Chains A and B, each alone.
Chain A
Amino acid sequence: MDLSTELRRLLPREAVIADPASLSVYECDALSAYRQPPKVVVLPRTAEEVRAILRLCHRLRVPVVARGAGTGLSGGALPHAEGVLLSLTRLNRILSIDPANRTATVEPGVRNIQIACTIGGNVAENSGGVHCLKYGLTLNNLLALTVMTIEGERLELGSQTLDAPGYDLLALMTGSEGLLGIVTSVTVELLPRPQAAQVLLAAFKRVEDAGNGVAAVIAAGIIPAGLEMMDRLAIEAAEDFVHAGYPLDAEAILLCEIDGHPAEIEAELPRVAEVLKAQGATEVRVARDESERQRFWTGRKAAFPALGRIAPDYYCMDGTIPRRHLGAVLARIGALSQEFGLAVANVFHAGDGNLHPLILYDANAPGQLERAEAFGGKILEVCVEAGGTITGEHGVGVEKLNQMCVQFTAEELEQFHAVKRAFDPDGLLNPGKAIPTLRRCAEFGALHVHAGKLPFPELERF
C-alpha cells in the first residue's frame, strides 16, 4: 500500500493531498529561492491525528516536515521530496484561558495576527520581535508544551507554573526547528498591558552615530520596550509607501519606545533624547499623540514590503552582534555592498543587536541570486567575527547550514546530532535542516579551526 493510501486510512479524504498540482502550493516557505514539492501533504485537525501520522511515518521510515503558516525565512519548512509535509494550520483552537493564573493554552496553528505566522512556528524558531529587549523571546514567555515524538509518544514539557522538575526540555524544544518533535499545544504566560507607551524618533547624519546611540541608551540604564533602526534606503522606501513622517535627509533613524507608568515615561523620554543628542542625533521628535505614534510604527512595520516595491527581490539576513559593534559592522556591510554590486537596506532590532540587512536583487538577472547569497553568507561570517551569531530569530533552516560550520566546531555539531538522535534516532523529523553534517562542512571548506587544529581530520576532502 502506498503512503497516501495508508494516510487516508487515518484521516478524512480531503485532509490528504497527493496530486501534483495541489502539492506545488506547498513547495516553499517564505525563502522562495528553495523549492521542493513534498510527496504528500496532510492536514490533521487534532493532536491524536498528528500522533497517528507520526506513528505511521515512523513505521514506514518516511521523513516528516512540520509546517505552520510557512512564513519562515530560512527554509525550515521546505518539504522533503520523499516525505510528508505535516501542516498544523487546522490545529487552531484556543484550548483554555486561565485569567486567575494568567495563562493561555492554544494549539500550534493559532495565528499571531500581525504577521500571520503560527505560534507553533514561533516556538520552533524561538521568535522575537520588536519588544524582546524588555519582554524576552518566545521561550521567556512560555510555560508548557505538549510535544509528540516521532514514535508517537506524547510528552508534557514545562508545567502550568514557573518551573518544572527534570531536564529543561521546554528550553531545548524551543527553537529546535521541528527536528526534535511536533508541538501540539502551547501554554504561554500572559502579561498585563503596560499603562502607556510613547515613541521617540531620532535622526542621524551618520549610520555609525545611530549605532553608538543604541549602545549609549542601554549604557544609561534604560531598557526600552523597543529600539529599532532604519537606514536611508529603508526610510525612503517606507516613507514613499506609507508616509510615516520620517525625515528624508537622515542617514539613519532610531525609533525608541518607552512603556510603563505615564510618569515614568515622562521622566525617561527626555533622558533618552539627551543621550541620543550627545551621540549626534540631529533631530529628536516625540510622537505628539497616539496616532502619530502608530504612524511611526507603521513605517517600521511596512519597511519590508516597502523595500519589496523598489527591487524585484530581496534577501533578508538575520545576524546578531554585540551592540557596541553596530557602527563598525554596518560600515562593513556597506563596503561589502559596493564589492558585490548589490544594494542593501537595514531595518532591524537594534536594541538587541539583531541585524536584518536586506539585500536587494533581481532573480531574473543572471547571477544575481548567487551573488546575493554569497553576499549574505559573507555578512553572517562578519557577525560571527564580531562575536555574534548567524541567526538571531529566523533560524538556520536550509539557508544557513554552511554558516553553522563557521560558528560551531565539529565536536559541537556532533553534540547537536547526538541530541537529535536522542529524540529521533532514525533522523525522520525535518531531515537535512538546522544542523549540517560534518561532511557538508568539510565540503563547504569554511571550517572553524579550533585551537589551531583542523576540525575534521577524519574526513576526506573534496
Chain B
Amino acid sequence: MLAPETLEEITAAVKAANRYGEPLRIFGSDSKAFYGRGVVGTPLSLRNLSGVIAYEPTELVVTVRAGTRIGDLEALLASKSQMLACEPPHLGNDATIGGMIGTGLAGPRRPYAGGVRDSVLGIRCIVAAGSLLRFGGQVMKNVAGFDISRLMVGTLGTLGIIVEASLKVLPRPRAEITLCQEVQAARAIELMNAWARKPLPLSAAAYDGVAVYARLTGSAASVASACAEIGGHEADSRFWEDLREQRLSYFLDGRPVWRVSAPPAAAPLALAGEWFFDWGGAHRWLKSEADPEDIKHAAVGCGGHAVLFRGGDQEGEPFPRPPPALLSVYQRIKKAFDPNGILNPGRLLPEL
C-alpha cells in the first residue's frame, strides 16, 4: 500500500500508474469503503498527507491537507467557536476531509446550512497526468474559470486526487435545543415541511419512526420563541450525532440500508421496510430487503432517487444509472481528467 507524505511522492505514483495504465485505489482511512463499488488497484491512502495549512477565523476559511482527520479539524474549529456547516458524518475515527469531499456526504444540517459542495471554496488536486492543479480559492466569491472545485465533490476519487481543500466555516450558534413529539410518519412529513416554510432557526429535523425531532439553533431569544411555536418536549441533543454517525439502533441490524432522496414534502413511499427520515424529509433511510428495482423505481416516481448506501449488492449498481446523454457527458469528463481510467475506476459507475 502507498501512503505518501508529500505531494512529490503522490505525483510520482500517479505518473507511473498513468504511464502503465495501472489503476489506483484512492482513499483516506477507508471509513466509507462500504459506499460505492469496489476498486481493484494499487491502494493509495492520503492519510499521511495531513495538517492544517492556514486557519484564519476572521475569514471564516480553513485550508487543510486532504488526509486531515475530520475530528481533528472540528476540534480546532470548536476552539475558536466555529464549525463546518455541512456537519459531515465521520463513520470512523480516522475519517478524512478528502473522504468528506470525495463522498459529498453531509449531515442533518444540510437543508438549513448547505451541503459539502457549499462548504468547498477551493481545492488542489492531482489529475491523472500527474499535474498539481488548483481551482477556486480562499475567498467567498470566485467565478474565475469553471467551478472544478465543486465538481470534485461526490466524484469518489474518479476525477482527481484531492490533496488540499479550503473550506468555508461558520460561527457556532450560541443557543441550541432539541425538541421531540410522537407522531405518525405522514404527520411528521407535514410538520417538518410546515416548520421549513416559516422563518424558524431550524438546523435539523428528523423522524425515527416514532417521534419527530427538531433542532433549533441561534440566539437565545430566537430559539426560545421558536420552541413555543414548535412545541413538544425537550430531548437529548446527542441524538443528532448518533444519527449522523449511524449509532442509533435503527442502523444496527444487517439489512441493506438505502438512502432515498425525495422532495421533502413527498408522501411516505409504500415500500416494505423501515423508514427513518432526515433532512426534514428530503433524505430518507430505508432498511429493506425489497427488490432493488422496486425501490429505485418508487424513488424516481416521487421525483427523487435511491442509492444503496450500505450492505446489499454493492458490486451491482448502488448508484442510479444516468440517462444515456448524461452518461456520455460523464464519460467525456472522466476522459478529460483521467484518460487512461486509473483513478478509482468503477467506484461510482462501471463506466467511470
Which residue numbers of A lie inside 8 Å of B, CB to CB?
98-103, 125-126, 128, 132-133, 136-137, 139-140, 149, 153-156, 159-169, 171-172, 174-176, 179-180, 192-195, 215-216, 218-219, 221-223, 260-261, 263-264, 266-268, 320-324, 349, 352-354, 387-396, 400, 404, 407-409, 411-413, 415-416, 418-423, 434-435
Contact = CB atoms under 8 A, between A and B. Distances in A.
A192 to B, nearest CB: 4
Contacts of A352: 139-141
Interface in B172-227: 172, 193, 196-201, 218-222, 225-226
B336 to A, nearest CB: 4
21 contacts: A100-B265, A101-B193, A101-B263, A153-B325, A162-B115, A165-B319, A165-B320, A166-B322, A168-B104, A168-B117, A168-B155, A171-B151, A172-B150, A264-B219, A267-B220, A389-B137, A392-B139, A393-B143, A408-B145, A412-B135, A415-B131
Contacts of B148: 172, 415-416, 419
Contacts, number: 258
Given A162-B279, A263-B225, A390-B144, A155 B197 contact: no
B199 A175 contact: no
B330 interface: yes
B305 A323 contact: no
A423 B61 CA distance: 32
Nearest to B332: A422
Contacts of B147: 126, 139, 171-172, 174-176
Contacts of A162: 110-111, 115, 261, 264, 279, 282-283
B81 interface: yes
Contact of A155 (B114, B142, B325): B325
Given A166-B349, A264-B219, A323 B225 contact: no
A192 B198 contact: yes
B337 A415 contact: yes
Interface in B144-166: 144-148, 150-151, 153-155, 159
B157 to A, nearest CB: 12
Contacts of B159: 167
Given A149-B329, A221-B172, A411-B131, 11 more contacts: A101-B193, A153-B325, A165-B319, A167-B333, A218-B58, A218-B59, A260-B218, A387-B138, A389-B137, A409-B134, A415-B131
B335 interface: yes
A159 B333 contact: no
A180 B333 CA distance: 12
Nearest to B339: A418
Contacts of A261: 199, 201, 218-219, 221-222, 225-226
Nearest to B352: A167
B145 A416 contact: yes
Contacts of A161: 261-264, 282-283, 303-304
B326 interface: yes
Contacts of A415: 127, 131, 133, 148, 336-337
Interface in B329-345: 329-330, 332-333, 335-337
A422 B305 contact: no
Interface in B44-92: 56-61, 81
B171 interface: yes
A418 B261 CA distance: 32
